[in-house]
């Protein structure tokens, strides 16, 4: 299976378990690798058969704007569900980083794999 990827996408959202986090927006960095058969799109040079990463990016940004989760785990799981359902993605690998959450680290977060890659 081919893969379409988006790397280093930064979105602002309400995320965190502490009271002070509930009143601010914080940056999350996302790296996605999504299973997709690119042959139909490539065969006819046809965008309608491609996984449109611009549309996926716009959906991720809209999701982040609306989200208000405590855990990065919940954000990642719900986002994966949305993307797979709305775009018909058969599998994805999502790495979600919360920069600055631990002062001694450049970032912390989760990686999830759903479906077949």
Mean pLDDT computed over 24-41 = 97
C-alpha distances out from residue 74 to 42, 47, 111, Å: 35, 32, 12
Cβ 88 vs Cβ 34: under 8 Å: no
Q: What does pLDDT average to over the chain?
A: 96
98 is annotated as an active-site residue: yes
Mean pLDDT computed over 42-63 = 97
Q: Give 54-99 pLDDT, tens digit per residue.
A: 999 999 999 999 999 999 999 999 999 999 999 999 999 999 999 9
Which domains are seen in the chain, by residue range? 3-115 (3.30.1130.10)
Which entry of 92, 98, 109, 114 is annotated as an active-site residue?
98
């Amino acid at each position: 299976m081919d893969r379409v990827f988006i790397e280093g996408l930064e979105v602002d959202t309400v995320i965190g378990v502490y009271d002070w986090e509930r009143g601010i927006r914080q940056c999350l960095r996302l790296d996605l690798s999504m299973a997709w058969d690119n042959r139909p799109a490539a065969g006819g040079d046809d965008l309608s058969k491609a996984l449109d990463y611009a549309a996926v990016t716009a959906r991720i940004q809209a999701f982040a704007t609306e989200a208000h989760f405590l855990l990065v785990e919940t954000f990642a799981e719900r986002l994966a569900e949305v993307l797979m359902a709305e775009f018909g993605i058969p599998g994805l690998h999502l790495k979600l980083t919360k920069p600055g959450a631990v002062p001694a680290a450049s970032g912390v977060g989760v990686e999830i794999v759903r479906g077949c890659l």
